[in-house]
Structure 1
């Protein structure tokens, strides 16, 4: 498919439309975890070891850092739709462009985010990336 073509005119897009007509269940507990993380706001923090002791980095800071890194490191065709921090786990929801291999793109983003967050915070981070939508381009 040429880059200039409208993806929605591609006959394969019909499969996406059919799939979209069926409700896909949200992973168990995901909404509750995200809402709890939002409700906690600044109360959650990550402990970062340093030369002079430990630094507490709020969940808001980790969230913004993760959003920035995700936007910078997202593979072609991947849009970040939401980021939430729950404890020491970063949950990222993404939309992928039609034609992009969703699993590979999500895994590439997860690896990049994990490496960069770990590097910048100085502590191991767990990142989950969930593909929740497909967009035409």
Structure 2
């Protein structure tokens, strides 16, 4: 088996280190959204249309379903870190392997999760995929 170079010795890794040293401001409204979700106790629900009326699916169920779909559909080099359903959107946090084009991988995962959630729930939900980390392949 050919030995692979340590990606941390790659000069491009310096850009990752520099980004990690920068302070990232809290996105506007994040604290308020988290506090609302905590106060609500995870009661976010999705109404799923059906022939006999509407079915109400809890946010916990949507989260579990989305997590399962995201893990199964994640492109090579993408690890799903966390999934949460909030109001009318699903938030997916991922880590990408060093060298993977992050925006393409995130968009591919977003499309896949959106399509499968739509197929299984019969309704469209916004899916947001956030790249929150870079990892190197484990030995």
TM-score w.r.t. the length of structure 1 is 0.88
> Deviation per CA, 1:20-52, whole angstroms, max 9, x where unpaired?
111222432235434533553442210011121
The runs of at least 4 aligned residues of structure 1 exceeding 4 Å deviation read: none
Q: SS where residue 103 of structure 1 aligns? A: helix
Partner of 2:47: 47
TM-score by length of structure 2 reads 0.87
Distance in 2, matches of 1:133 and 1:29, equals 22
Distance in 1, Cα, partners of 2:84 & 2:7: 30
Question: Which ranges in structure 2 are unaligned for 5 or more consecutive residues?
Answer: none
1:50-89 per-residue CA deviation (whole Å, 9 max, x = no partner) reads 1211111000000000000000001111111111111111
Give ranges in structure 1 of 5+ residues lacking alignment: none
Higher relative contact order (CA 8 A, sep 6+): 1
RMSD over equivalenced CA pairs, Å: 1.9
Count of aligned residue pairs for this structure pair: 136
CA distance in 1, matches of 2:3, 2:106: 22
